[in-house]
Amino acid sequence: MRKIDMTDQLWARLLAMRGSACASAMDDGDPAVALYAPIAAAPAGFVLAQVGQSLDGRVATPSGDARDISGPDGIAHLHRCRALVEAVIVGVGTVKMDDPRLSVRAVKGPNPVRVVIDCHAELTGEERLFRDGGAPVILVQGDDAPAKSYKADILRVRPGEGGLDPHDILDALSARGLTRILVEGGARTIARFMEAGLVDRLHVAIAPLIIGSGPAGIALSPIERLSSACRPEARVYALGSDILFDCALKPSDRSASRESQDVRVADHA
């Protein structure tokens, strides 16, 4: 397991790489560079999904209390990821349940554009992200959603049988210049992007608490046998308060696969 020791100087270098497509030029063997440079310098079309969960795989209590699952270093990690992308996406369920700000507060860095998938225009317009004066908000709605007034840009996407196609959502965001994306939840939203094959990397940050019951962070379609389970190549990082699994979901992400094998061999030695 590799330990992340972030310094102000290193973080400033990573922020300066944002959107530069030069990750390899900075790969100096530092675990923080290995973790964050591929996000900072990702090519257009890059999608990171992130879940912060308990030891028993929960992201909230059954009544929906989701605050403070991640420890301080897990939160700093999430905010670094927000600062390195151009837009953060959540589903309407997360906004209704958590009323999040989706801003960068735990570290220095720019706030991403906030994107909410609200297919049927369920939000009232009174939610915090419309009123906090923060980064711009984009609502992604079906083109048959009822017209309501929001302090946000509305992106209309034609719904298919299963809702809005994540490819169409990314295309619409790309047309607005938003091409490096963090999908932050909840479970159904991450699952839709994963099942569409659009997630390059999945970060699962695990905090040392046991909730016992409650929703999980990813809600993929059920499988019969473990042989069908997704077993991504993963690097493991000690963030401090939390442990992070950095999973390469796309087979083309060979650099992560190679490095993960190297790390595993080193750990056995």
Ligand X SMILES: NC(=O)c1ccc[n+]([C@@H]2O[C@H](COP(=O)([O-])OP(=O)(O)OC[C@H]3O[C@@H](n4cnc5c(N)ncnc54)[C@H](OP(=O)(O)O)[C@@H]3O)[C@@H](O)[C@H]2O)c1
Cα dihedral sign, 194-202-114-124: positive
Smallest gap from residue 258 Cβ to ligand X (A):
28
Number of C-beta neighbours around residue 250 at 10 A: 15
Residue nearest to ligand X (CB): 186
Amino acid in the structure at residue 168: D
Site for ligand X in 49-68 (CB under 6 A): 51-53, 59-60, 64, 66
The verdict on 246 binding ligand X (CB under 6 A) reads no
Q: Which is nearer to ligand X, 28 or 68 (CB)?
A: 68
The verdict on 215 binding ligand X (CB under 6 A) reads yes
The verdict on 101 binding ligand X (CB under 6 A) reads no
The verdict on 184 binding ligand X (CB under 6 A) reads yes
The verdict on 92 binding ligand X (CB under 6 A) reads yes
Can you tell me the distance from the alpha carbon of 179 to that of 193, in angstroms, rounded to the nearest whole number? 15
The verdict on 91 binding ligand X (CB under 6 A) reads yes
Q: Which is nearer to ligand X, 96 or 257 (CB)?
A: 96
Smallest gap from residue 114 Cβ to ligand X (A):
13
Smallest gap from residue 60 Cβ to ligand X (A):
4
Q: What ranges in the chain are assigned the alpha helix state H?
A: 8-16, 31-40, 72-84, 92-98, 128-131, 166-174, 187-195, 254-268
Smallest gap from residue 155 Cβ to ligand X (A):
12
Can you tell me the distance from the alpha carbon of 38 to that of 222, in angstroms, rounded to the nearest whole number? 31
Can you tell me the distance from the alpha carbon of 122 to that of 145, in angstroms, rounded to the nearest whole number? 9
- Nearest one of 76, 223, 167, 168 to 156, comparing CA atoms: 168
Smallest gap from residue 76 Cβ to ligand X (A):
14
139: Cβ contacts below 8 Å, ≥ 6 apart: 115, 116, 118, 121, 123, 150, 152, 153, 154, 155
Smallest gap from residue 98 Cβ to ligand X (A):
5
Specify whether the CB–CB gap between 79 and 248 falls below 8 A: no
**Dihedral Cα 166, 168, 169, 175, nearest 10 deg:** 150
Residue span binding ligand X (CB under 6 A) among the ranges 21-29, 87-95, 144-152, 170-178: 87-95
The verdict on 189 binding ligand X (CB under 6 A) reads yes
The verdict on 194 binding ligand X (CB under 6 A) reads no
Smallest gap from residue 191 Cβ to ligand X (A):
8
The verdict on 94 binding ligand X (CB under 6 A) reads yes
Site for ligand X in 116-175 (CB under 6 A): 117, 119, 163-164, 166
Tell me whether strands 2-3 and 46-54 are parallel, antiparallel or unpaired. unpaired
Instruction: Tell me the two tokens of residue 7.
Output: 């310094």
The verdict on 186 binding ligand X (CB under 6 A) reads yes
Instruction: Tell me the two tokens of residue 18.
Output: 């944002």
Binding site for ligand X (CB under 6 A): 51-53, 59-60, 64, 66, 69, 90-94, 97-98, 117, 119, 163-164, 166, 184-189, 192, 215, 217, 219
